[in-house]
Structure 1
Amino acid sequence: MNRLIPIACIALIGSASSTFAQQAEPGAPEKSADPKAAAPAAKVQSVVVQGTRADDIETRRLSTASKMVFGREELDRNGDTSVGEILKRLPGVTVGGRPGRGGGGVRMRGLGNGYTQMLVNGEKPPGGFSLESLSPDQVERIEIIRGPVAEHSTQAIAGTINIVLREGYQQKDIQLRLTDSIEQGRHSPNLSVTVPGKAGKLTWLMSASVFENRRHDESSTHNIDQALAGPVELEQQVHDQSDGISRGIHLSPRLSYKFDSGDTLTFQPFLVHNDNSSQSQSDMTQSVGKPERQAYARQLGDTSSTSTFLRGFGNWVHKMGGGAKLDVKFGFGGGKSDSDTLRSTFDAAGVPKKAYTDSDSTRDHGLNTGGKYTTPIGKGHLLAAGWDIEANHRDQTHVALDNGDPLFDDSGASLTADTRRMAAFVQDEWDITPQWSAYLGLRWEGIRTTSTSSGADVSNTSRVWSPVLHTVYRIPGHAKDQVRAALTQSYRAPALNDLIATPTFSSDNRETRPDRIGNPNLKPELAKGLDLAYEHYLGKSGIVSASAFVRDIDNLMRRETTKQMTSRGLKYVSSPINIDHARTSGIELEAKFPLTEVMAGAPNIDLRSNYSRFWSNVDGIPGPNNRLDQQAKQTANFGLDWRLKSLPLTVGGGLNWTPPILVQTSKTELVSSGVKRQLDLYGLWKFNPRYQLRVAANNLFADDYDSGRTLTSEDVAHSAFVTAHTYATFSIKLEMKL
């Protein structure tokens, strides 16, 4: 089996070497025979060195459920300014949208928005909060759980990404980080600080960051309507550009108190505040088509928004006799966001045509509690049972005016929504033999959403049972080899905005730019899953693994565009519906290890690589591209870190690749996106143990990002193809321990 490891490494990292020379781990140096060389025992100072990478790998190896952990080393490596930039390099993870901008959601296993469960400290973040924009300096580690577990919500068909905020580890120094990122000559400074402290039995870690981001965006859209058996009926070119600035502050203090009884009480609030403003300009030229089809020649926009999110996480751990433990969680969350947009359109002579006003005010707040009782039972059993209760409330007011006339019947849309989620679970972690462990769990979860919108009352209720089974077998005689398997049932609940939402209107309503509404009759998607994996561990910090998965999905949700009579007349409207059954499968390969593990006399280089291949098909939609929405066929990452021996310098980088995506989302709609190639490089110079400088360059290729959509109706193909510019970003970060 060990002879297969070099071959697997070649396949995973694309090494040019035809063979690897396997070497045993270096032994300890021989002791000196001279007794004078030995220092007196009383003067020897004991030093314990703990490697973060080894801790992360060991946690992964010992976990019964498939779980990957990425600590501060991964978070700091490239000097990223957002968690989204880090996630795109992790195995099996892709980030939608164009490089450097995101906005398309975080996805595991190629699946679209909503299939990947995103958590903060094991809890759902407040509504409207984007984890992609979270500052890495506020994060302690990222956990990726490929299969659902009973302890967390099983709304994780693709898997779960858990963002763990800064913890109360034994940090002794104040850590200060000063960063400046530069894109197209625009500076985006960032300042973050973490301050530890202790007073008696109370310990704390105060973390804060403030930032300002400036950016320019530019894109071109080609609109074309062509009869299936005839000439082009409409052709337009639209050039869009915008300039924006955002400022914000993130605070995440952590307090921990240890009682005389051994109980611990921990509380960690998390505050995010953002202010944004942007100005946009859109120029449209029409070469083919009736003049009335041109909505405007120029459109000017001015948008301002502000958002504040506050979330508190707490838990009380009570140790009981016989190794039993009770962990009670509690929390609260709230958020408010306000936005105002004014869009003015003009004809070719500069004469004003229409003015659109769009204002939105949203308020979210909620409470949650949960707990887990754990106790050993019999030999090799660790039984746990627990609960989760969550209540959330939303108030939203949306005002949309067209030249002062309301787009809503009552000149504004008010929405109030309440969501209640209850869950109970039981699980058993069973060490069947020293080599074989299993995890058995069962979770029941119910969600009820009620709402009043413009005087209409609607409700939606879903209840799901989710049995899960994970097992790991450590191969006898091969201490560093193990096999994993899992059988699970998970689900995807409809998002609140898909169930009940105030309408979103398009100023240029057409087949490819419809209005958007919700559907209160949506059912949750249900998925049965099978996961298999083989893992081989190299030394203390290396791994080569191969895994495969299958998901069988019922009640698939998709958006459908139809022509409907509205208060504004006959318009194209997009709404979500349940369509049919789907299946997705894939393989995921990963290799991460020091080069010295497989090649004698190699330089001090760490290699990181992963490759994923995905398949899917949706019943009821004609092929050949009847795939799950937004799912890429492949994705790959390759990176290395080289620690020079002659200088206090580490250099490295990574290459991220996702090929073009073409998906037949319905019988009449085809969606595409172009290839994504992102090259990131960095250098780290350590002046001394307290000061280091990190320089990074991200998205060096700066490729244009293409996307498109074609909808066929009434024997006419309506297409919109967008080319958006992307930009290289350069950053410099000074890291200090005070």
Structure 2
Amino acid sequence: MMSPTPLCLAIAAALSCPAAAFAQSTQPADKGKAQDKPVQKVEVKGSASTYDPRRDDTASKTVLSAEEIRKYGDDNIFDVLKRAPGVTVTDKSIKMRGLGAGYTQILVNGDRPPPGFSLDALMPDQIERIEVIRAASAEYSMQAIAGTINIVLRKVVSKPQRDLRLNATRSPLQRSGTMGGTWGDKVGTLSYFVNGSLFGGHNEFHSRGADQLSLPDGTLAQSRLTRYDGGGAYRGGVLFPRLNWKIDADNELNLSAGLQASSHAWSGFSHNENLAGSFGNPDWIDMPGRTSGDQWMMRGEIGWVAKVAGGKLDVSLAGERSRDENDNDTDYYSAGSAHHLLRDWDTVYRPRRMSFRGKFARSLFDGHALVTGIDASRQRNEDSRDRVDQQDGAPATHVVEAYEPQVTRLAGYVQDEWSITKQWSMYLGGRWEGVETESTGTNVPVTTSRSHVLSPVAQTLYKFPDKSGRQVRLALTRTYKAPTVDQLTARRYLSALNTRFAPDSSGNPGLKPELANGVDVAFEQYWADGAMVSVSGTQRLISDYIRTRLDLDPDGRWIYRPLNDGDARVHSLEAEVKLPLRMLNAAAAGFDMRASVTRNWSEVSTVPGPDNRLDGQTPMSANVGLDYRRDRLSFGASMAYQQGGWVRVSDAQIRHAHTRRDVDAYAAWKLDPHLQLRFTLNNILGMDGESESVYEDAGGLSRQASWQQGATRVGVNLELKM
């Protein structure tokens, strides 16, 4: 009998069988005796499913698999993410550590989404996995003060894959339908994959609001109620084709594309009911409006993977173009239609981007895994706005505005993951990023802004010996948040009726990026069958904090404008548990429970208390879910909780967010190995959207409150594998 091959020895080691003993047991003590005995067949099986990136990777992250993503039959990415531990979703704003507005980095396939890419149009069945990365890594951009969410789209396949999904949802406010599918196969050295979907539906919106201003002596100077009712239809399609060519043992070529297209047509009616005072001259009371738009995005990428110098070189070149065109017509009427303003504003956004990414990885001596790379991109927008205003039959005012910002990014990084011992691993990395923003436009001065940040990062993982399942993590990071193009440009967006309730907005070319020094610590305990408990804490010390301030200009117009204003401190505490209930009682076999809770605090040095927190931060969030699976039947339910409360934005501004409890449920029945029927319920409690803000200065105290109707959605999915 032959000696065991290196592959057999590797498998034996992976299964914790001593390689020497395995080899010794297969060597015959006597050749004659070996010929007399029948040869025994030994079959060794191993599975990649035993690898858990959350448990085994030095960098801290949670991975939502394709099965978890599709479990609830969601028709959008936001409903998927609101059940992820440590993640909150509010009005399509995705947050980690309760922080949105640029603090949480959203990536698609490890890169910033291309211009015109819409997360709304991304269907869950087009996603392979979602990585929730708590501490920054040098390979990705360090613009991740709160963390990173990386959405990885489905790729080429190694075996035939054909499936079709039909989805229909309905609520008192919405009806929609989606048809999507996947077609993938491998032919010789070529493998291909096509995933796409068509969608359409109709939405309705009903909102109410209240505005009031009290003078310093308590006199009610202004008060009104507002009402908006509207809705409309939408439709679109998404297509993601990919092609992989394995040229030889050392070279591989990848081609991929992305196409998104959609259109919408809305109409609505706004009405203001004045209870005290007036809100302008003329004071617009009734405002019927119509808007329609078309959007498309296309993307192409070519990549080459090669074995070079004992390592792997991965380079890619990508180009993207998109167009977003909107036509908005609104009529403004004063009381009794005494005055009439017709406003026709057409906007066209035409961004395009070219990007290059290169990465080289190889193993070095003593368990080192070295990765180095560069990222470069240039994005240019061609935006235009065609404004036509005509009041009371007078000659129309026609203004055409152009705006052309350009953003150039360059980054280089290096990282080393070192397995010091079987229990202890270390990650060291650094990334330099530079950003240059230039903008020109009609009646806007040319502005240029340059910034660069050097970000070191260190992470370590220690696993306690004797397979106890206990491990601890520590991460030290330097991350940042760069100002957006709109925040950097001096372009001014004029409000139709300028008041403290509806101000203008403008940027600030002098803004500097926010810098954050952070520390993350975590303790994790893992057991068999996927059970685990995790407790973690984080802190971020932020300098040059950017906040948006409401001011009264010398010309008498109210305006929102960003500025760097002091320092901020953010800290969070998070706990998570996953538990198959059969570990507690055999009668509960098939039930899996999961729960997480996050508590967030923050304070800004230049803002007085109480309720001093970063704008929009969720003070506490929690997720709890229970799933059951047995034979062909599975069902489950979950609740995502977000605590509301007051936030003091500045010495004059405070805002209030209401508490939300989003309860979802699903039931799936596998009719046969190829066909599954799934029923879903979203927002079972029918939670509405509510908010409130207060602004107080020498001129008085103003309050604004808004409410938007919510409703329970019922859905049915048919999933067919061919």
TM-score past 0.5 threshold: yes
1:360 pairs with 339, 347, 351, which one? 347
Report the counterpart of residue 141 of structure 2 in structure 1: 153
Aligned residues of 1:417 and 1:452 also touching (Cα < 8 A)? yes
Alignment of 1:589 with 2:539, yes or no, is no
Report the counterpart of residue 219 of structure 1 in structure 2: 207
Report the counterpart of residue 131 of structure 1 in structure 2: 119
1:731 pairs with 701, 715, 718, which one? 715
Code of the residue aligned with 2:717 in structure 1: it is: K
CA distance 1:554–1:408, change in 2 (3 Å):
farther
Query: Which whole-Å deviations, capped at 9, do the CAs of 1:318-364 have from their partners, x for residues lacking one?
Result: 11354x11111221122111111111112332455212222211111
Query: Which whole-Å deviations, capped at 9, do the CAs of 1:173-212 have from their partners, x for residues lacking one?
Result: 3100011111217431100010012222110110000100
2:613 pairs with 627, 630, 643, which one? 627
Alignment of 1:577 with 2:571, yes or no, is no
CA distance 1:208–1:47, change in 2 (3 Å):
farther
Query: Which whole-Å deviations, capped at 9, do the CAs of 1:634-671 have from their partners, x for residues lacking one?
Result: 000111111145xx211101111101132111111111
Cα distance in 2 for partners of 1:194, 1:121 equals 18
1:480 pairs with 448, 469, 479, which one? 469
Cα distance in 1 for partners of 2:432, 2:504 equals 36
Q: Give the C-alpha shift of residue 126 in structure 1.
A: 2.0
Aligned residues of 2:313 and 2:360 also touching (Cα < 8 A)? yes
- What is the root-mean-square deviation in Å for CA atoms of aligned residues? 2.4
Alignment of 1:164 with 2:152, yes or no, is yes
1:673 pairs with 651, 657, 671, which one? 657
Report the counterpart of residue 611 of structure 1 in structure 2: 597
Alignment of 1:719 with 2:703, yes or no, is yes
Aligned residues of 1:386 and 1:424 also touching (Cα < 8 A)? yes
Report the counterpart of residue 106 of structure 1 in structure 2: 94
Aligned residues of 1:675 and 1:705 also touching (Cα < 8 A)? no
Cα distance in 2 for partners of 1:416, 1:407 equals 30
CA distance 1:406–1:311, change in 2 (3 Å):
farther
CA distance 1:236–1:427, change in 2 (3 Å):
same
Which secondary structure does the structure 2 equivalent of 1:170 belong to?
coil
Report the counterpart of residue 416 of structure 1 in structure 2: 404
Cα distance in 2 for partners of 1:45, 1:657 equals 52
Cα distance in 1 for partners of 2:47, 2:591 equals 19
Alignment of 1:142 with 2:130, yes or no, is yes
Cα distance in 2 for partners of 1:671, 1:113 equals 15
Q: Give the C-alpha shift of residue 714 in structure 1.
A: 2.5
Report the counterpart of residue 327 of structure 1 in structure 2: 314
Query: Which whole-Å deviations, capped at 9, do the CAs of 1:91-146 have from their partners, x for residues lacking one?
Result: 1111122xxxx3xx211110121011111111111235332542112111101111
Report the counterpart of residue 689 of structure 1 in structure 2: 673
Which secondary structure does the structure 2 equivalent of 1:74 belong to?
helix
Report the counterpart of residue 233 of structure 2 in structure 1: 245
Report the counterpart of residue 29 of structure 1 in structure 2: none
CA distance 1:489–1:346, change in 2 (3 Å):
same
Aligned residues of 2:159 and 2:186 also touching (Cα < 8 A)? no
Code of the residue aligned with 1:77 in structure 2: it is: K
Aligned residues of 2:460 and 2:473 also touching (Cα < 8 A)? yes
Q: Give the C-alpha shift of residue 45 in structure 1.
A: 13
Which secondary structure does the structure 1 equivalent of 2:492 belong to?
coil
Report the counterpart of residue 35 of structure 2 in structure 1: none
Report the counterpart of residue 499 of structure 2 in structure 1: 510
2:89 pairs with 67, 86, 95, which one? 95
Aligned residues of 1:660 and 1:673 also touching (Cα < 8 A)? yes
Aligned residues of 1:607 and 1:639 also touching (Cα < 8 A)? yes
Code of the residue aligned with 2:664 in structure 1: it is: D
Cα distance in 1 for partners of 2:155, 2:388 equals 47
Which secondary structure does the structure 2 equivalent of 1:297 belong to?
strand
Which secondary structure does the structure 2 equivalent of 1:260 belong to?
coil
CA distance 1:48–1:728, change in 2 (3 Å):
farther
2:77 pairs with 58, 76, 83, which one? 83
Code of the residue aligned with 1:549 in structure 2: it is: T
Query: Which whole-Å deviations, capped at 9, do the CAs of 1:387-422 have from their partners, x for residues lacking one?
Result: 111111111112333327999998222111111101
1:203 pairs with 188, 191, 202, which one? 191
Report the counterpart of residue 367 of structure 2 in structure 1: 380
Report the counterpart of residue 557 of structure 1 in structure 2: 546
Q: Give the C-alpha shift of residue 695 in structure 1.
A: 0.4
Which secondary structure does the structure 2 equivalent of 1:349 belong to?
helix
Code of the residue aligned with 1:514 in structure 2: it is: P
CA distance 1:498–1:127, change in 2 (3 Å):
farther
Code of the residue aligned with 1:106 in structure 2: it is: I
Relative contact order, CA 8 A, sep 6+: which one is greater?
A: 1
Alignment of 1:708 with 2:696, yes or no, is no
Cα distance in 1 for partners of 2:716, 2:703 equals 42
- Of residues 700-709 and 292-301 in structure 1, the stretch that sits farther from structure 2 once superposed is 292-301
Q: Which runs of 5+ in 2 are unaligned?
A: 1-37
Cα distance in 1 for partners of 2:692, 2:361 equals 51
Aligned residues of 1:400 and 1:408 also touching (Cα < 8 A)? no
Alignment of 1:462 with 2:451, yes or no, is yes
Q: Give the C-alpha shift of residue 572 in structure 1.
A: 0.9
Cα distance in 1 for partners of 2:356, 2:623 equals 39
Q: Give the C-alpha shift of residue 150 in structure 1.
A: 0.6
Q: Give the C-alpha shift of residue 478 in structure 1.
A: 3.9
Q: Which runs of 5+ in 1 are unaligned?
A: 1-40
TM-score, scaled to structure 2: 0.91
Query: Which whole-Å deviations, capped at 9, do the CAs of 1:296-320 have from their partners, x for residues lacking one?
Result: 2211010111111122344322113
Report the counterpart of residue 3 of structure 2 in structure 1: none
Count of residues in Structure 1 that have an aligned counterpart in Structure 2 = 683
Cα distance in 2 for partners of 1:133, 1:92 equals 24
CA distance 1:257–1:239, change in 2 (3 Å):
same
2:480 pairs with 455, 467, 491, which one? 491
2:298 pairs with 294, 303, 310, which one? 310
Which secondary structure does the structure 2 equivalent of 1:229 belong to?
coil
TM-score, scaled to structure 1: 0.89
Aligned residues of 1:493 and 1:524 also touching (Cα < 8 A)? yes
Q: Give the C-alpha shift of residue 618 in structure 1.
A: 0.4
Report the counterpart of residue 242 of structure 2 in structure 1: 254
Aligned residues of 2:115 and 2:353 also touching (Cα < 8 A)? no
Cα distance in 1 for partners of 2:664, 2:524 equals 28
